[in-house]
Structure 1
């Protein structure tokens, strides 16, 4: 009877393994979507000891299957015994975060951040931050791209010493040789900035923004508009005029040689206006606004023309009239 019970317990994992190895991709995909059912049948301990290691070795498959696996693992904390065991899910997701297909990586990063929010500070220090650093220092750019999206969540729960280390590692990604990595660093810097006090933003983040805003790739520069807005929102308005580097970068974005960059700053004009003080609006934004209305590119003119509705309309129009 005991042998029969043991066979019954082994049956779910055996079926899963067979289906995950099946030639039919739909069967493999369905098996992934039933992982939670299998985990419930196995229980938390066997899920940790058997199922997760098996999945850790199963990251060579069709992109559709791997995307589904990345998604499923993000909601798997309860099946491994709760947050105190949540770190066991990091290894397969770390492997998935290195996959070439962007959809797989994006879903893995999303699930990693979801799990990180449930971990204790000690788990984050011991498991999650080292994972982020490993991906950041990997040889292949896909890992580094994933890493750029894994800084903000652990940063909010880390010790001051670890926070300093995370900022230093992120700075290396901003200065990476590969444009795709710098692009994703720019894309994630705005969120990262929002987790920091003004003093650190001024001392460390403005130089990173300045570096990205001067990038030779316009696909990087156009993403710095959101970073500029995040920095302006973090720095008290009465201090903004004293930071010449920030204002110079703002002026450069308005006059960028690439119409795509000018379009982006035109499209975000109202958000920029809300984030800066009256002096910057009068001295920098109003002339830029008028110049963009005469831009050579129709897309830029169209974007800027729709940027003074709502609460900013009176403010901007008053300065334009005075100008």
Structure 2
């Protein structure tokens, strides 16, 4: 390169130019990621005078490269141009990036601009950053106007009063923009901007804009206005919420578009916290009931997911009455809803009502619903009930739980569908902690042992992991007296798969049982299986001995007098696979 030979000081820029002109996308990406290194080589002054102008003029590349450039030119790049006094130098390339067509590039450019806004001195904010916001907000292309929406909140608090008025007017024009994408961006940032303005202006200007956006013809704008409603209601004094925020909120709850109603349901508990207990009691309970009865499954699902949180946030003096009269009837309908997503969402939250409603209401009204859900044809519904049993256990007690729900769980655990059995196994440790050792031994232990002989390997494998978790919970003594006898009995089974299961079980139990239990109960079985007629069993003996040794469960004497002789014998086995694994085991032990 001529520049390299003629003037070494230009070398970093020359290299960057060549790399950015290269056809290789990865090379261009890597060169952008090296910008900080190039800036260090150039120094602060030449970075400001040469590198940044060059980058401003090269905003014409693949989206990945532009995104990487927008990421680089953030607050971490500031020291390389000379610090806060020169922060405005970084604005031109980011302004160009905020105009590009690709959304992710614009969003990253806006993110970098927002990080740099706080670093501006007051004079620079008005002389450099604010004009940038104005140019973007009044640009010919909708892309610049959408980018501008994200910058109002970061510059408004740091400019003079007259300029604040200008910013509000600019935002007003964006909320009334002809392009739906711009109005959408304004609706998405309205709540954030509202938090930055003074209370009086928020009452007059922001509420007016929020009302405008909530009446927009596009449902994509109206649903974002719901988020703005949460922010506005949270900022208004309680006395102003009813006249200023509630009319528009009522309209959103009854909106003709299910997407808007879905957003209301999704943000419902945030709205509840924003409007306070009185409006919640008088208005939101009825609205929540309507959302639970909505004709669209997506809306009902979103509302069902808020069931526990909303109920928990109701005023304590009327909570039980409101739930029993307004919400429970809807819940009873949703238990048999034709949509599986609705039922699954409800099952994940319904048990959270037990601590709120108390023992009597749970037994009379909720337990029958739990039993229905445990027998639901959808596995996810059944599993969501099982995974939340502890909520009910705390309220009605383990005896009542075992009499009502446990039979249904046992029935599930023997389901014909192996995936259902597999999923139930995962919840056994949780059930064990809820039932306690005695009741678990009585009701579920035999079930856990039966899974070891399941016809499906995945179920047998999960059953072994389950036993390990149970031993961790109940202890090595429990394992010795309760589960080891039937497990070790499988070592004598005529089916070689069951004998293999014994070895696989020993592999995991050896990690959690005491050394005494391993030597007394487990190792003798492993030694016996070394003489098994099936080669698969014999070479798995080699693997098991290595695992037990790795878990520090085999002492030196046993290693030398019993383990090594067995492995040496297996190393002379007639089966090549057995020989291979025996040799591997001897190497590992050595």
TM-score (ref. length: structure 2): 0.52
Contact 1:59/1:95 (<8 A) preserved:
yes
* Counterpart Cα distance in 2 of 1:103 and 1:162: 30
Post-superposition Cα deviations, 1:46-103, rounded to whole Å, max 9, x if no partner, equal 0000001111100011111111111101132111000110101101110111000111
Post-superposition Cα deviations, 1:102-138, rounded to whole Å, max 9, x if no partner, equal 1111111111111111111111100111111111111
Cα displacement (A) at 1:314: 5.0
Contact 2:272/2:310 (<8 A) preserved:
no
Post-superposition Cα deviations, 1:5-42, rounded to whole Å, max 9, x if no partner, equal 98332211211111112222221111110000000000
Structure 2 equivalent of residue 191 of structure 1: 192
Contact 1:241/1:279 (<8 A) preserved:
no
Structure 2 equivalent of residue 159 of structure 1: 160
Structure 2 equivalent of residue 71 of structure 1: 71
Structure 2 equivalent of residue 38 of structure 1: 38
Moved over 6 A (4+): none
* Counterpart Cα distance in 2 of 1:101 and 1:264: 26
* Counterpart Cα distance in 2 of 1:241 and 1:63: 46
* Counterpart Cα distance in 2 of 1:200 and 1:319: 40
> In the alignment, does 2:155 pair up with 1:117?
no
Structure 2 equivalent of residue 320 of structure 1: 322
Query: What CA RMSD, in Å, does the superposition of the two structures yield over aligned residues?
Result: 1.8
Shifted more, 6-15 versus 148-157: the winner is 6-15
Shifted more, 177-186 versus 230-239: the winner is 230-239
More helix by share: 2
Structure 1 segments unaligned to the other structure (5+ residues): none
Shifted more, 234-243 versus 257-266: the winner is 234-243
Structure 1 equivalent of residue 282 of structure 2: 283
* Counterpart Cα distance in 2 of 1:147 and 1:195: 16
Shifted more, 218-227 versus 305-314: the winner is 305-314
Contact 2:97/2:106 (<8 A) preserved:
yes
Secondary structure (helix, strand or coil) at the match of 2:196 reads: coil
* Counterpart Cα distance in 2 of 1:240 and 1:68: 44
* Counterpart Cα distance in 1 of 2:229 and 2:320: 24
Structure with the bigger RCO (C-alpha within 8 Å, sep 6+) is 1
Secondary structure (helix, strand or coil) at the match of 2:94 reads: helix
Aligned CA distance change for structure 1 residues 252 and 30 (closer, same or farther; 3 Å):
same
Structure 1 equivalent of residue 263 of structure 2: 264
Contact 1:282/1:319 (<8 A) preserved:
no
* Counterpart Cα distance in 2 of 1:312 and 1:190: 26
Cα displacement (A) at 1:239: 2.7
Structure 2 equivalent of residue 168 of structure 1: 169
User: Where do 1:1-323 residues align within 5 Å?
Assistant: 7-74=7-74, 75-243=76-244, 246-310=245-309, 313=312, 315=314, 317-318=319-320, 320-321=322-323
Contact 1:270/1:312 (<8 A) preserved:
no
Aligned CA distance change for structure 1 residues 312 and 129 (closer, same or farther; 3 Å):
farther
Aligned CA distance change for structure 1 residues 27 and 297 (closer, same or farther; 3 Å):
same
* Counterpart Cα distance in 1 of 2:321 and 2:127: 53
Shifted more, 148-157 versus 255-264: the winner is 148-157
* Counterpart Cα distance in 1 of 2:163 and 2:321: 45
Secondary structure (helix, strand or coil) at the match of 2:151 reads: coil
Contact 1:132/1:151 (<8 A) preserved:
yes
Cα displacement (A) at 1:310: 4.2
Secondary structure (helix, strand or coil) at the match of 2:282 reads: helix
Aligned CA distance change for structure 1 residues 98 and 314 (closer, same or farther; 3 Å):
closer
* Counterpart Cα distance in 2 of 1:239 and 1:116: 32
Secondary structure (helix, strand or coil) at the match of 1:118 reads: coil
Cα displacement (A) at 1:303: 1.2
* Counterpart Cα distance in 2 of 1:27 and 1:319: 67
Cα displacement (A) at 1:238: 2.7
Shifted more, 190-199 versus 138-147: the winner is 190-199
Structure 2 segments unaligned to the other structure (5+ residues): 327-590
Aligned CA distance change for structure 1 residues 47 and 148 (closer, same or farther; 3 Å):
same
* Counterpart Cα distance in 2 of 1:215 and 1:86: 38
